[in-house]
Amino acid sequence: MTTTTTPPTTPTPARRGARRSRPARPGRVALYTGLVLASAFWLFPLVWALFSSFKRRSDIFAHPPSLLPPDPTLDNYTSLFDGHPFWQWFLISTLIALASTTITVVVCSMAGYGFAKYRFRFQNVLFNVMFSSLAIPFAVIVVPLFVFLVRTGTADPWFALVVPWVAPAFGIFMMRQFVAQSVPDEILDAGRIDGVGEAGLFWRLVMPLIRPAIAALAVWSFLNSYNNFLWPLIVIGDPDSYTLPLGLQAIFGAEGRQYDIVLAGSMLAAIPSILVFVALRKQLIDGLSAGALKG
């Protein structure tokens, strides 16, 4: 007596298409609807500012308000470039942000690696003291920090805007957590057996493994430095050395509130932040996702 085995049937294209065309669940529809509404809510001010940068000042406050400029003009951008050293402010902000970000990434990566993979005396005490500094508001330390820089002769704007912020507690904590979870001790031990020095372990093994965390820290550090207003206001006295936030504030307060010119400058000022996010978006998402899954 023979038995026949019926081969498994593969779904036909029509059946697969029918499976894909099933109506979405109400919960997913509600989720997507909420995300679209939230995105529109957060994007609307940016869109309004973009269109308003091409409006005349009287049209910005026209009633009833309109999103599109009734009479588009480039006069706001022309006035911005002709009457103010905008590109100089732009260059200063960008260079300071890049320098601060580069040093911050290296210092925080080294410190996080040290806390995660080495054992030394008072390690937990030092880490807890460092982590506790997150609870100290910036307003509490701003005056003592400025007095310290003045008395030590290091109040030069280029030094004061970069060096005091190259080892933020948040960055060290984030890198320490990521190194501890993403860099197995076995890889480091294998490298030591092969004769790789401690510096080589860090640069050749650890840094490639923590690229997502580096990207997330770089975006965070760049935006913090680039958009900082209070600290540059304290340490910079020369208008020609202003950063972009200070320069736009100076434009806003000069000769009345020049909303039209400030909006034009704000749109141009947003370009570096957008470019940094676009360039590092994949690594940033990977880093945040990895941190969420491993945490």
Domain residues for the domain of 230 are: 75-294
- Which of 70-84, 249-263, 271-285 has the highest average model confidence (pLDDT)? 70-84
Single-letter amino acid, residue 10: T
DSSP 87-137: HHHHHHHHHHHHHHHHHHHHHHHHHHHHHHH---TTHHHHHHHHHHGGGS-
Total domains in the chain come to 1
- Least confidently predicted of 172-181, 185-194, 252-261: 252-261
Q: Residue 264 falls within a domain, yes or no?
A: yes
Rounded to the nearest 10 degrees, the angle between the axes of helix 169-182 and helix 123-132 is 130
The predicted-structure confidence for 106-155, as pLDDT tens digits, reads as follows: 999 999 999 999 998 988 899 999 889 888 888 888 999 999 999 988 88
159-171 pLDDT, tens per residue? 899 988 888 999 9
Position 101 scores a pLDDT of 93
Question: pTM higher than 0.85 for the full model?
Answer: no
Residue 13 lies in a domain: no
| Tokens at 230, concatenated | 């209070």
Report if residue 107 sits inside a domain.
yes
Return the CATH number at 171: 1.10.3720.10
Does a structural domain hold residue 85? yes
Confidence class of residue 22 from pLDDT cuts 50, 70 and 90? low
Q: Is residue 8 part of a domain?
A: no
Query: What's the rounded Cα separation, in Å, for the pair 294 and 173?
Result: 15
Q: Is residue 88 part of a domain?
A: yes
Q: Classify residue 82: in a domain, yes or no.
A: yes
Confirm whether 232 is domain-assigned: yes
CA 11/CA 136 separation, integer angstroms: 62
